[in-house]
Copies of this chain bind each other. A is one copy, B any other.
Amino acid sequence: MLKGLSRAGLGEIGNDEQFIELASKYGFQTVDVDAKGVIAHFGGAAQALEFLQQKEVTIGSIGLSVDWRSTDELFLAGLSGLVVDAEAAVALGCTRCCTYVLPSVDMNAAHFMVLATKRLRLCAQILGAFGIRLGLEFVGPHHLRTQWKNPFIWSMEDTLDWIDAIGEPNVGLLFDSYHWYTNGSNVADIEKLRADQIVHVHINDAPDVPIAEVMDGERLFTGEGVIDLAGFLRGLHAINYLGPVAQEILAPAATDSPEELVARSQAGFTKVFKAAGLE
């Protein structure tokens, strides 16, 4: 597995160059960024790639920029941007693109599922032509399941069924420790997966409150909470998952400096990877 960082939770970490620099300095192997922005920053894909290679960092995943959650018009308007994103990702060797799925919706849930299936299938088809996989992140916190009018889906099992219904070979899970935890899942649930069903992994920790009260935006740094992250990593290792495990801390702004936060992240990763017997 590859240790990875996203910007979430790291404060004002600066531009992509500064972000990659810090990630590299503290031993992270992947960063989740906008590939197009990285290329723009460095004035070209070749220059960006050279910097990444020098820092021994690759891009773990880009985000799905197209708006697949509202109108057909907005969705279609985003397709040309999706092609540009895919071109940029490929140019930097990135093969993952991810989006999250909220567990409730205001629309009729069945109709929203129909629209989401159609739209994400097309995104997957376009990304697939570029050799990029699409990762769908189920979102577990209980408060979000009733935040909008109608329940949608939030479990690993339902999301795997959905991936089947989408029907494209390059779609899989973005598997996040927080959503695994808030679904009340265990290591055996991970071991039921095949590695190729997972596109990307997020890691972060939860405070010691009842699972039903865990808030989506109050995540803790890796290893600083109560989630069995050693078990989480052991499960992923057991099924031969070899991709990135990227930290994503959705939480109120921290007061430490970005560098302190990245160093703290490194320490957290070291702790849980050691506990998992993986270093």
Contacts and interface: CB of A to CB of B under 8 A. Distances in A.
Contacts of A196: 194-196
A87 B81 CA distance: 13
Interface stretch (A4-12, A159-167, A177-185, A264-272): A159-167
Contacts of A84: 80
Nearest to A168: B169
B129 A165 contact: no
A42 interface: no
Contacts of A169: 164, 167-169
What secondary structure prevails in chain A residues at the interface with B?
helix
Nearest to A78: B83
A151 B240 CA distance: 39
B165 A114 contact: yes
A162 B114 contact: yes
Contacts of A129: 75-76, 79, 118, 122
Interface in A87-129: 87, 90, 108-115, 117-118, 121-122, 125-126, 129
Interface in A13-28: none
A122 to B, nearest CB: 5
A158 interface: yes
A186 interface: no
Assembly of this chain: how many copies? 4
Contact of A114 (B76, B80, B126, B158): B158
Contacts of A151: 108-110, 150
Interface in A145-199: 150-153, 158, 161-162, 164-165, 167-169, 194-196
A209 B216 CA distance: 49
A123 to B, nearest CB: 10
Nearest to A170: B169
Interface string A69-85: 00000011001100110
Interface in A192-219: 194-196
Contacts of A122: 125-126, 129
Given A76-B130, A126-B79, A108 B158 contact: yes
Contacts of A240: 195, 240, 242
14 contacts: A80-B87, A83-B83, A108-B151, A108-B158, A109-B109, A110-B112, A113-B113, A113-B114, A114-B165, A115-B165, A121-B167, A122-B129, A150-B150, A195-B196
The 3 A-B pairs of least Cβ separation, nearest first, read A196-B196, A169-B169, A113-B113
